[in-house]
Amino acid sequence: MTQSLFITFEGPEGSGKSTQIKLLNNYLTSRGIETVITREPGGTPAGDRIRSVLLDKDGGSLEPETELFLMLAQRCEHLRKIILPALNAGKVVLCDRYFDSSMAYQGFARGLMLDKVRSIHQAFLPGFLPDVTVLLRIPPEKGLIRARHGGQKQLDRIESETLAFHQKVLDGYNAVAAEEPERYIVVEAEGEPEEISKKIIVELKNRCQELF
């Protein structure tokens, strides 16, 4: 079956996006739907190198604008080389972070103007937005504990920001989701992964009947 659909997963650190992407992918592939799983920053060879510059703690601080432009640079590569070809081939693309991360992190939390972030995106990335965005909400203090994986994982440059920064990220997500309720599925991310996945699938079925 071919039915292209661009679904992005967003949320603060430790919100369980990758687990939810896996569960949704299992559901879709078990129904014969072809999927592509990808992520930002990254998704292409150049994008993965840009990811290291963005997240490596040893590289020191980055100016907010530098951070935004690097996010956009990796997104140009990702959109043109991975996302659009997959959609044109009739696949469902499941993407871990995209434009709304730039709004929440660079726009809200770093304090760049939201209109500027939006208009740069529209100017350089033909304003290409997902069909559906799943926002997994978790209080930042709980998400950061999860992101540390019980102390086994070192936090990267952005994860290491203050709790106040991560609270602004969550506030930013809430604001962008409220602006576009037709694109967003908002789910609380603290429960059992399987239960959360079921809720997401019910919402997706409501919105994308042609796919299910």
The Cα–Cα gap between 195 and 202 comes to 11
> What kind and span of H or E run contains 6?
strand 5-10
Smallest distance, ligand TYD to C-beta of residue 202, A: 24
- Provide the token pair at 57: 């703690």
Under the criterion CB under 6 A, does residue 105 sit at the interface with ligand TYD?
yes
The Cα–Cα gap between 176 and 156 comes to 25
Tell which one of 13, 86, 187, 204 touches ligand TYD (CB under 6 A): 13
Under the criterion CB under 6 A, does residue 133 sit at the interface with ligand TYD?
no
Which of these ranges, 24-32, 100-108, 129-137, 198-206, lies near ligand TYD under the rule CB under 6 A?
Answer: 100-108
Beta-bridged to residue 38, according to DSSP, are 95
Which of these ranges, 56-64, 153-161, 170-178, 195-203, lies near ligand TYD under the rule CB under 6 A?
Answer: 153-161
What does the angle CA 188 – CA 102 – CA 9 come to, to the nearest 5 degrees? Answer: 35
Binding-site size for ligand TYD (CB under 6 A) equals 14
The Cα–Cα gap between 64 and 39 comes to 21
Q: What number of other Cβ atoms are within 10 A of residue 79's Cβ?
A: 24
| Of 35 and 67, CB closest to ligand TYD | 67
Under the criterion CB under 6 A, does residue 11 sit at the interface with ligand TYD?
no
| Of 6 and 105, CB closest to ligand TYD | 105
Tell which one of 91, 97, 121, 166 touches ligand TYD (CB under 6 A): 97
Nearest residue to the partner ligand TYD, using Cβ: 105
| Of 71 and 87, CB closest to ligand TYD | 71
The Cα–Cα gap between 99 and 124 comes to 12
DSSP code at position 104? I
The Cα–Cα gap between 38 and 196 comes to 20
Tell which one of 38, 96, 132, 136 touches ligand TYD (CB under 6 A): 96
Tell which one of 16, 41, 140, 143 touches ligand TYD (CB under 6 A): 41
Tell which one of 82, 93, 158, 177 touches ligand TYD (CB under 6 A): 158
Beta-bridged to residue 132, according to DSSP, are 7
Parallel, antiparallel or unpaired: strands 5-10 and 132-137:
parallel
Q: Provide the binding-site residues for ligand TYD, judged by CB under 6 A.
A: 13, 40-41, 55, 71, 96-97, 101-102, 105-106, 156, 158-159
